[in-house]
C-alpha cells in the first residue's frame, strides 16, 4: 500500500508514497477512504494532514500503471468504479468533521489538485506546481474538478485551468484564492506544523460543524442554511468546549479545549 499512516496524539498524518511522484492507485485511494471514514468516528482525532514523500505531493492518478498489460476492462468500468473510489474520496475530505490540512511540495496534479482544493487548509511551497492535466491528455475532468474550481475561483478561471491547462505555482494559487497560503519551501514544514498545532488545540466540535455549514451553504437557500445553523448551534452549545470557552472568557484566560 502506497500510503503511510501515523498517529501523533490528536493528529492523524496520511502521507502518499509511490515511485510515480506519489500518484494514487486503487489501493491508496481505498486506504485514504478508510482512514478518513475512521477519523470521522474517532473522538481522539482532531486534525488530519495530507502530504507526500519526496519532492512532490501527488501527480494524479496512476493511469499508466493501471493500463499496463492485461485485458481491457469491459465497457462501463469507469462509471461503475469511480463512485466507490475517487468520487468517494473527495466528498469525504469535505465532509469529515475534523479539519484537513494539505501540505504541498512539487506537483499537485489531477486528483492531487482536487485533494488540495477539498482540504480545509492547504499550505504549499511557493514553487509548487498545480495542474489539471485532463484535456491535455484527451479526457475529461474527474474527482470533482469541474465542481470545485468554479466555486473557488469562478468559471472564467476554471476554464483556464481545465480547458487551457494553465499551470499555477504555489504563489499564484494563493493569489487566485485556491489555497490557504504559499510559503518559502524551507519554511513549509514549520508553517504547516504551527497551523496543525493550532487546529489540534481548538474546539473540534465547533470546527467540524462550521466546516459542514460552509460546505453545504453554497447550495442552499438562506432559510435552509439558517435551519442548519440552528442545528449546529444546538450541538456545539452542548459541548464541553463551549463551556470551557465561556469560562475562559469570564476568567480572562486562553481556553483549554479538549475537542469534545
Cα separation of 18 and 16, whole Å? 7
- The beta-strand segments (E) located in 172-216 are 181-183
Domain ranges of the chain: 3-200, 204-250
Coil vs helix vs strand at 37: helix
Does the fold of domain 204-250 match that of domain 3-200?
A: no
Whether the model pTM is above 0.85: yes
- Reported as a single tens digit per residue, the pLDDT across 142-169 is 899 999 999 999 999 999 999 999 999 9
**Span 204-250 CATH architecture:** Orthogonal Bundle (1.10)
Just give the CATH number of 3-200.
3.90.226.10
Report in angstroms the alpha-carbon separations of 157 from 75, 140, 146: 33, 17, 11
Cα separation of 134 and 230, whole Å? 41
Which residue has 459542514 as its cell numbers?
212
Pick from 155, 179, 18: nearest CA to 100: 179
Cα separation of 92 and 236, whole Å? 21
- Reported as a single tens digit per residue, the pLDDT across 103-143 is 999 999 999 999 999 999 999 999 999 999 999 888 889 89
Amino acid at each position: 500500500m502506497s500510503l503511510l499512516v501515523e498517529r501523533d496524539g490528536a493528529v492523524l498524518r496520511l502521507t502518499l508514497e509511490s515511485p510515480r511522484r506519489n500518484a494514487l492507485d486503487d489501493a491508496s485511494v481505498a486506504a485514504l477512504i478508510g482512514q478518513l471514514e475512521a477519523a470521522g468516528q474517532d473522538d481522539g482525532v482532531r486534525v488530519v494532514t495530507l502530504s507526500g514523500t519526496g519532492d512532490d505531493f501527488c501527480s494524479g492518478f496512476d493511469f499508466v500503471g493501471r493500463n499496463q498489460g492485461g485485458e481491457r476492462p469491459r465497457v462501463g468500468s469507469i462509471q461503475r468504479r469511480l463512485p466507490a473510489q475517487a468520487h468517494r474520496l473527495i466528498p469525504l475530505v469535505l465532509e469529515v468533521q475534523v479539519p484537513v490540512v494539505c501540505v504541498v511540495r512539487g506537483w499537485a496534479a489531477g486528483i492531487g489538485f482536487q485533494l488540495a482544493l477539498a482540504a480545509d487548509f492547504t499550505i504549499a511551497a511557493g514553487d509548487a506546481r498545480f495542474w489539471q492535466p485532463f484535456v491535455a491528455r484527451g479526457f475529461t475532468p474527474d474527482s470533482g474538478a469541474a465542481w470545485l474550481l468554479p466555486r473557488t475561483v469562478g468559471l472564467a478561471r476554471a476554464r483556464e485551468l481545465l480547458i487551457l491547462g494553465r499551470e499555477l505555482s504555489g504563489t499564484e494559487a494563493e493569489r487566485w484564492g485556491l489555497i490557504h497560503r504559499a510559503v518559502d519551501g524551507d519554511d513549509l514544514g514549520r508553517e504547516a506544523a504551527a497551523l496543525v498545532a493550532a487546529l489540534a488545540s481548538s474546539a473540534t466540535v465547533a470546527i467540524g460543524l462550521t466546516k459542514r455549514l460552509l460546505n453545504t451553504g453554497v447550495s442552499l437557500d438562506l432559510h435552509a442554511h439558517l435551519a442548519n445553523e440552528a442545528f449546529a448551534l444546538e450541538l456545539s452549545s452542548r459541548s464541553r468546549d463551549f463551556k470551557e470557552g465561556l469560562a475562559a472568557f469570564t476568567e480572562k484566560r486562553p481556553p483549554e479545549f479538549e475537542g469534545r
